[in-house]
């Protein structure tokens, strides 16, 4: 093999390995979670999502239990996201939420009142901008007994951009 070919192959390999490492690192640092519930639209065209950090399989198993039951949903055993994962002004991309899927701007974030550190995320308030019509986001979404929010049977995911 000629010297020029060896150099080109070596440089190509280095670039390919570097690109692969960059992709792995960027995917790992992506801030994401699952959504267990979404509030109804307000007159100000805003709504809240209720995120959790646990694995999609565990969250979906718990949501199915809730969906098939009339009892209150106790999700103390599901990991929560940290407040620092999202900031006012960030963009949230929702996937797997059918009518709710899309990009939304973060207006505020709420923390768990019983957490003395105030670092456990409870909800994220999003600006709708007419994207979601406010109806049940998926065919399996169920209106709560208080008629204020929809519970999912399968959790949509979100990514903070």
Mean pLDDT of 116-127: 92
pTM over 0.85: no
51 contacts 125 by C-beta, under 8 angstroms: no
Q: What is the pLDDT of residue 68?
A: 72
Where is mean pLDDT largest: 33-47, 74-88, 139-153?
33-47
Average pLDDT, the chain: 87
Query: What stretches of 3-156 adopt beta strand conformation (E)?
Result: 31-39, 46-52, 91-95, 102-111, 121-127, 142-143, 149-151
Mean pLDDT of 141-158: 88
Q: What is the pLDDT of residue 135?
A: 87
Ranges of H-type helices in the chain = 3-28, 56-67
Tokens in use for 76?
A: 């103390």
User: Can you tell me the distance from the alpha carbon of 118 to that of 85, in angstroms, rounded to the nearest whole number?
Assistant: 13
Strands 121-127 and 102-111: antiparallel
| Nearest CA-CA partner of 87 in 117, 125, 58 | 125
pLDDT > 80? residue 16: yes
Q: What is the pLDDT of residue 27?
A: 58
Q: Tell me if residue 26 falls in helix, strand or coil.
A: helix
Burial of 52 (0-12, 13-18, 19+ CB in 10 A): buried
Q: What is the pLDDT of residue 67?
A: 74
Mean pLDDT of 105-133: 91
Instruction: List, in order of start, the domains of the chain with CATH numbers.
Output: 31-160 (2.40.30.20)
pLDDT digits (tens, 9 = 90+) for 26-80: 655 568 899 999 999 998 999 999 999 888 898 888 888 777 766 666 677 888 8
């Amino acid at each position: 093999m000629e010297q020029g070919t060896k150099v080109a192959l070596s440089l190509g390999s280095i670039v390919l390995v570097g690109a692969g490492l960059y992709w792995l690192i960027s995917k790992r640092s992506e801030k994401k979670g699952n959504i267990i519930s979404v509030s109804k639209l307000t007159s100000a065209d805003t709504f809240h999502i209720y995120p959790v950090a646990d694995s999609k399989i565990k969250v979906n198993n718990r949501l199915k239990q809730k969906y098939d039951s009339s009892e209150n949903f106790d999700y103390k055993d599901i990991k929560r996201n940290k407040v620092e994962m999202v900031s006012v002004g960030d963009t949230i991309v929702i996937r797997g939420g059918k009518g709710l899927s899309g990009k939304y701007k973060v207006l505020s974030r709420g923390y768990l009142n019983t957490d003395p550190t105030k670092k456990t995320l409870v909800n994220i308030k999003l600006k709708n901008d007419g994207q979601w019509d406010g109806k049940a986001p998926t065919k399996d979404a169920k209106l709560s007994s208080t008629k204020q929010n929809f519970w999912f049977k399968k959790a949509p995911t979100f990514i903070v951009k």
